Structure 1
């Protein structure tokens, strides 16, 4: 069985052409790659997990103080069984929190990017949560430089398209599965909406990616972070980079009885970026797949309706 490869991003500086070719090949085949050598300190990752776990351990009524009804979960807390994978009959078995980009409140995007909420009950939540946000944002930009080169764009092609991107850090808590008669999926099969997703340190097995009709388990080693393509980049690249279905299943062992924590970072373009297929991704073998233009913000709203967040 083929496995999603792990590539060391330091090779972008030491062995660029080969790294870009291998990274591009991984994404063309799987829509996923594991990235090592990124330099994000263990202390930042471990400290972030610690504050997120402490938040999820709070009483429900305390957490609900940070639930903003009608906001689509854009910031703050979203309780269990709200989000539902597109076309799924079961709501996902998870609760989560959203950290967004800190922008000046007179920014032209202020109306679609609300201010962050920070739970006063958990000391350190803001410095760890926003520190991890910024570290993953910077790593995502490094991955996008390599992806740009692979599709014959300038290295810095994505920079002015993501510098005020509506990106989200989403700490998730999947509670222990204590009954035997509930669906065997904690998060239903889905594709991500954004440009790329960076997933740091899932605490238990369960993540699977659909490849050639088979579900492949993804497990990382060492400091590796899972990075996958989302639907917006699939559209912009005219499907050169596929957005691949993935899911989180209950482990078939005692880990199903343990909570699972995971912290994906959804890297989004700026809200006004138009997701038209790039000319460099349109060929005789891969004709243009989209005739209508749509901005990333319009696309986001359309998808949030589908997954019942708005």
Structure 2
């Protein structure tokens, strides 16, 4: 099986994209409106930030979760004991951000948020009637005026050879939110787990846009759309000397959104954050 990139400008783009999400939990788009040059500039500028001491001036706020998360507090994926080999920055429009990086990252946030609304409309329009009935409101409306949508700038530093045994850049996990939008990273490593338990490399051609289903959309769709397990594996050989930057935008509903009879977006998020040990 292979994940094929869907042409965003194709007349069958919505159908092909949503079918990929349904079958694998992932969709890959090419010829989309997100500027490749802007993404490249963001990677360059934030790699410089992560390689500087300035990052320590923006340590995360525990209550609001905005700011810099160093390796020493990196996430432990659900079901794992070893911390991921990564550091990252949480950008929210209302949160802390270095002045010299804010305009660029905010412009990216806004343009990707606009695309996300369109993709959520695609998912809704391509959902069968017996699935659509589960949506308590239009999917794109769930993220409107949400202050929870998170842009995470991830930095996987070069491997030093002294990493904990079995620790990898991002252990197998599922995302919490509705959907995640991710431009291809500057280095490969992202893999998705298939139904038969095997791992498939997600196409990392620079310029592709990767979208995956999160737990909240799985819950809201009555499990029609699978929140697929994925991971970032460690590089090998000479590639270990290269850092990896990625830029996932996690589309979160407003806290009051009802996902199902069991959860609101707020109750679901807090349950998962407690499991991850970050609150």
Please, what TM-score do these two structures have when normalized by structure 2? 0.90
Structure 1 residues 298 and 39 mapped into 2: Cα distance closer, same or farther (>3 Å)?
A: same
Q: Deviations over 1:47-104 (max 9, x none)?
A: 2112211210111xx32221134236x211111142111111101111111112x3xx
The alpha-carbon deviation at position 180 of structure 1 amounts to 5.9
- 1:69, 1:39 → 2: CA distance? 33
* Partner residue in 2 for 1:144: 120
User: Is 2:143 the counterpart of 1:162?
Assistant: yes
User: Is 2:49 the counterpart of 1:49?
Assistant: no
* Partner residue in 2 for 1:96: 88
The alpha-carbon deviation at position 309 of structure 1 amounts to 1.3
| Pairs aligned (count) | 269
**Pick aligned residue for 1:198 from 181, 194, 202:** 181
RMSD: 1.9
Structure 2: any 5+ residue segments left out of the alignment? none
- 1:205, 1:222 → 2: CA distance? 10
Structure 1: any 5+ residue segments left out of the alignment? 103-114, 277-291
* Partner residue in 1 for 2:159: 177
State the SS of the aligned residue for 1:178.
Answer: coil
- 1:98, 1:187 → 2: CA distance? 16
- 2:138, 2:214 → 1: CA distance? 17
The alpha-carbon deviation at position 139 of structure 1 amounts to 1.4
Q: Deviations over 1:226-269 (max 9, x none)?
A: 10000000000111110000001112231122111111111111
CA contact (8 A) 1:81 1:93 kept: no
The alpha-carbon deviation at position 181 of structure 1 amounts to 5.8
User: Is 2:97 the counterpart of 1:118?
Assistant: yes
State the SS of the aligned residue for 1:241.
Answer: coil
* Partner residue in 2 for 1:268: 252
Q: Deviations over 1:112-144 (max 9, x none)?
A: xxx311224xx2x01111111112111111111
Structure 1 residues 45 and 179 mapped into 2: Cα distance closer, same or farther (>3 Å)?
A: same
The alpha-carbon deviation at position 222 of structure 1 amounts to 4.8
Please, what TM-score do these two structures have when normalized by structure 1? 0.82
User: Is 2:18 the counterpart of 1:24?
Assistant: yes
